[in-house]
Structure 1
Amino acid sequence: MRFELLGPVRGLRGDEELDLGSPQQRLTLAALLLAEGRVVGQDQLIDILWADTPPKTAANVVRQYLSRLRAVLGAEVIQSVAGGYSCAAETDVADFHRLLAAAAQAPVTEAHTLLRQALDHWRGEPLAGLPGLWAQAQRTRLTEARLVALESRFDTDLATGRHAEVIGELSALHAAHPTRERLSGHLMLALKRAGRQAEAIGVYTETRLLLAEEFGVDPSAELAAAYQQVIASEKPPPASAPVPRQLPAVTTDFTGRAPALTTLAGALRGSGALPIAAVSGQGGVGKTTLALRAAHTAAEHFPDGQLFADLGGAGAEPMTPEAALASFLHALGHAEPPDGLEERAALFRSTLADRRVLVVLDNAADLRQVLPLLPGSPACAVLITSRVRLAGLAGATHVDLDVLNLDEARALLAAVAGEERVAAEPQAALDLIGACAFLPLAIRIAAARLAARPAWTLGQLAARLADERRRLAELRAGDLAVEACFALGYDQLQPDLARAFRLLAVPNAAALTLPMVEQLLDTPDAEDLCERLVDLNLLQSPWPGHYRLHDLLRVYARSRPDDEMVQQMALLRLCAWLKGSVVSAIRLAAPGHPVVEGLDQGVGRRFAGLDEVTAWLDTSMEAVLSCLDQAIRLGKGDLSRMGALLDMLAVLRESSTDYRPHVELLLAEAERRGDEAAQAYARSLLLIGVRADG
């Protein structure tokens, strides 16, 4: 069975096309397929299907859609997992990206064939006929991916002498996308090589006039540089110039990252101004490994050499730009580089002016460290890695690297530890990957420990990693250690950021909203502190006003020394705010309900209407319950009031959540304390059922 999304959504079993139902039902399937095996939560599906106006029966409708799809596709195709659903199936989108990744690593002739095969998967507008903002956003994303693939294919067309063949296709695309400057550059170069320089100049002139007329701007630096290439004669590099080959070896067990490799390949082969690609992400996510794979793949396009420098940006003493330039100039044949940053930077740019060199700057600290190391020639390219997003790099292609998906994580584990061992213990492999939170460094370390200990089972190591208190100690192998990697970033934090980082790890909640963060940090600068941590890739912001810590970063933050009383007070402030918010919600949703008698709202959110209550519960329920559980385990507060809070939540959410585990925890704590009133309350909740369908 396979599915097609690059056109109307279709499901095929052999040659038979399956009936996938209504547009909304096909939209549900498309959302699961585009997640590529990752879990899609029920609330997320509701947002995809109805955006801001879901019906009250939305959850039931989603379940009906999934039930009908399973009836057509087979029950095993769509899996129910904790918190949502997943569907790992063959799609033309996956095939498209797989071929692009292969092309990014292939010689130019083979890459040309692979890119054509990838583009042959397209049958028209992707997700054609599917309604809604989410589907439109995916159409835009996929269409952009197709245009990038076309641009990469034009690179190979021009590199293999097919300039005359592609002029017609390029002309049509340029007419459809007249302000897409990479296409303009391709068309200009194809025309020039076909002996039609005047027409190439005409393309530039028309584009310049269009930009001025429609946007009131001049041509970008990229387009202006492409124009200079059209009117200038190419100069060969000096025959005696040294050709540095400084790239470190790439790991043989590299896995996954196909979309990122495709993006980097297209960026490094770009025409126009100096191509720059910047990879950012948290420590241990695999930035250097990815960059080296991309650099080795692109090396054939830079015959005059490849320069590499580890700038040490995450450490206490990063390399100065002067020192990096001295190293580069030595490699380029200058035995005695001049003194001074400006003099060295000028000589560096002059040396590379007529050469095609790839410069890889690993582990950059900030923009000030990078800017003096940029060549001036558009024939060169620069690839940068950094823990911070270098947003000020004009014209750069940015790749924000996240953790591995499940298939990539399993492939890495198998590549290092051995496929047979992983296949023999599939559940233990999943547990181990989960304990590593899909972080490549952690998975590599765990796999290396298994490889060095043939007698260990995956289950034994997974059990050792299950204990949060010893997890970081277990994730060490030789010179590799997750804790040391995280420490490089944490040790550079200013005191206010370090405090915020530690306090954000106090709740067990997977995600926190800004009002929750404000209660935790107890400072008017809470949002600013969070955004600064996001910029440093020590915190994630999946959408504005929402924050979450990577699981291993949470473990690391909790391992840092801190005042236990400060942490408890932070958690209690948050719990008090959440309790007040729930009281406010139940008074609005069920006025006069006896469960709120005698409960003061205190601090907490005030709601203007039921829609606000529903939206808040959709984003905050997990945080409310996890913080409540923590408060119960902490042994603080009135247990009967905590039972009332669970009772209120059950009234508000009806059958959408199972509260039994939380009530059982409350009962166990009440028994431990000898609190008979709380025991009676908890038993009554269990007796009547704290879930409407129970």
Structure 2
Amino acid sequence: MDRDDGPRVRVPEQRAPEEPGAADSLRFTVLGPVRAWRGAEALPSGSPQQRALLAALLLREGRTATAGELIDAFWGEDPPSQAKATIRTYASRLRKILGQDTLVSEAGGYALRIGRGALDLTLAQDLAVEAEKARASGDRCQARTLINKVLGLWDGEALASVPGPYAENQRTRLEEWRLQLTETRLDLDLEVGSHAEAVSELTALTAAHPLRERLRELLMVALYRSGRQAEALAVYADTRRLLAEELGVDPRPELAQLQQRILRADEELARPADEPAPAAAPVKPAQLPATVPDFTGRDSFVRDLGAQLTTAEGSVMAVSALAGIGGVGKTTLAVHVAHQARPHFPDGQLYVDLQGAGARAAEPETVLGSFLRALGTADSAIPDTLDERAALYRSTLDGRRVLILLDNAHDAAQIRPLLPGTPGCAALVTSRVRMVDLAGAHLVDLDVMSPDEALQLFTRIVGAERVGAEREAALDVVAACGFLPLAIRIAASRLAARRTWTVSVLAAKLADERRRLDELQAGDLAVKATFELGYGQLEPAQARAFRLLGLADGPDISLAAAAALLNLEPHTAEDLLEALVDTSLLESAAPGRYRYHDLVRLYARACAERDEQPPVERELALSRLLDFYLATAAGVYALERPGERVLDHFTRTEYPGLTFPVRETALDWLFAESSGLLACARQSAAIGMPKRASDLLMAVVDLGESGANSHQFATAAKAVSDAARAAGEAQAEARARTMLSHVHSVSGRFAEADAEASRALALGQRAEDPVSLGQAPNQRGIIALYENRHEDAEAHLTQAMAAFRADGNKPGEAAALCNLSRVHLATGRTTSAVHLAQQGVAIYEGDATDLALRLANGKYALGLALIGSEQMPRARDALLEALQIFRESRQQLWHGMTLFRLAELHLAEQDGAQAAAHAEQALAVLRGIGGDWRRANVLAVLGRGLTAIGQRDRAQVCWSEALAIFEELRSPEAASVRALLNPAGVS
């Protein structure tokens, strides 16, 4: 099991250091136990004294050690009378092991003849030199990688268990070097922008080496860059007090200067030197769609926009907003200009279709989440709120030169959070509306093409030979298209695909069939008429696929989901969809994924309403899609929670879903399809399918705890609940409200969570729904526990347990038992708390695999109960098992909370350094999720850990923040934190 005991450098299983050469070459280690290998075979190193001789010779790096020097090394000033004979004996034994040519006698002493790469220490020294060179050349990421390799060569204490004064001196020297390397690597961490991740390790190191001022300095910088200015200043106060008490001196000038810079909020200190990066290897997004090879005309616009974008290299942030009617070629022009401007933005390009002309424009917080991931930000580091994401986005772009293409924006309000805030970056925006309220933007109005440009575009697609023979007819075609680029492209593509047609035939079709040439010259009707032309040329199966696929909400759709919606085999569906891509009526977002331009989607839906007969076919298509999503999500749920009875109460699906061989693949699908799944739940409830929509929410409950999807999940749950209420579907409403309660609880909104769970329970009783009859009181019990209403919690959980047992839901019963264990623990009944948790774990282990997610919940509860009963080793084992499963299941909330509980365990064991380190890790994992109440609890424990390691001023800052949160929430925990801040009770 991968146990997380703190922020130490992880070392792989010790093995002989690698070196090119023969398989029987000798290899040695001293950065840990003194060991020797010949090839892959470990050699005996003998007694401690014999290892001491080997170590002394290895550390000489080939130089001869005299007998006198070895005697001093082993025994110092008090050698035994037979010291020389003893050394000869040890040398003889080593020679038999290593070989006559390896250990040689010369000049009254001994020497080892080995290659430089045969010793881990010399390998570490060479890597350290390479790291210094990389850093000097400006390659910080490479330097960081190399130093991590050096540190990875250590296997515990150097020269472990080797006796003698020489070995002791060398241990001290090597430990000091190891610390210096660690400081250098941490310094590099800060230089490349990994300050938040460094706080936990620095907290532990300052506890282990309290008088080492360089570590304190690095910790202050890391805290300051993480937005924790008060804590950074508190570290200085702690250091000044400690140095005065222990050594009677003041902090060194560098530390005092750093304090002053933090007090001044020095902007230069707030960011790494030169160019920051969020990870060891800077992420360079390249998201621009491909430019069309037959781009035509627009020369003045290309020059104007290109000139505006290149000003971002100077001292301004360039923003250009390109407006025009649908189909006028805004996106094509913007993509073309963006590609030409790429050399001016060496740090990458971001792109998003904001779907502004559709029924549901993209939410800025969702777009920011995608952008942050593209820029290298981990999911766990992405905050939950729009303002926090926008702030992190601007900080991540600071110092970079990145081009952001915001395509198809709804209005200025949608894009303001998506704009970078610093020079060097530029934003290019396309929209159907002029953004006159976008301050500082360079506005460009794009009109239709000139006749010459339109004819040139048509000719490039159709071919000069065909157009040259019928130039007048070609002019009639582009005129009928209103000189709109999108309309021209579709018409020309139809003609190019049909070699038997002449240009005159196409012109006659436009004039005869549409009779709407005037409408082609203005507004959306022009685009619609052009789409009619393309749609009219589709084969019947293609036309059906086009209109039905447009019914589904969501930004895009996978091939498997599209096949379900169309009721076709995947390979057949793929042929149809690829044919639609060829006609430009559909876009291939990625291999196996498809999306509509928003206007095309609206047109496809209009076609479905007009042409899909009988109308019930539209509902059946969406029903199949819902079945596919529900069946697949239920399979993922079953892999995560084997034996769970909830699935038995789901509405029966007619269309099958996908199956997955392993949990990892299943979770990949769940999180990749999150937007489509939640959009389907919303849409299905709105069109009269609230039962299956509420079931789908329950099947994808993991999305509600993932952080990045929590807001979308809450929105979907509210929509399903409202639709179910309007339809009078008590069961569906009860389940949707149960899920809404769950996501409120995850976010720390306990009052709203309890209200929803209470309503869910009442509805469940009316509908006699076994699912909500068990889950709703279980949810209420958890909330009451959080709010310290222990009698209510016990009553709710007892009710939940009875409901689960009546339903034969053993995992549900186990969950209630584990939650009840926590109530008993909170009320001082530790023995029964352990017993209840053990009962729950026994059920999980009997009905599920040892990797089931629910088992992690059981181990978590058992770990808490064992802490309460002071069985610390068993508690640690239980919590570490839970931690591993939560990580593998991508349960970010419970991953963070388990780290928090490990911090509490370390406090109980009087290990303040590890407590503080784990609390710091919990804060990092819970960033953006879990709500303020959980953050305040972690801060309170962090403060206690910091106090234990002497960082009292920093602890006061943590407690002050925790108290402010608790007081705002009116939480009872405020009293205990207030007592920590004011232990003497002074008013």
* TM-score of the pair, normalised by structure 1: 0.41
- Which structure has more helix as a fraction of its residues? 2
Bigger Rg, which one: 2
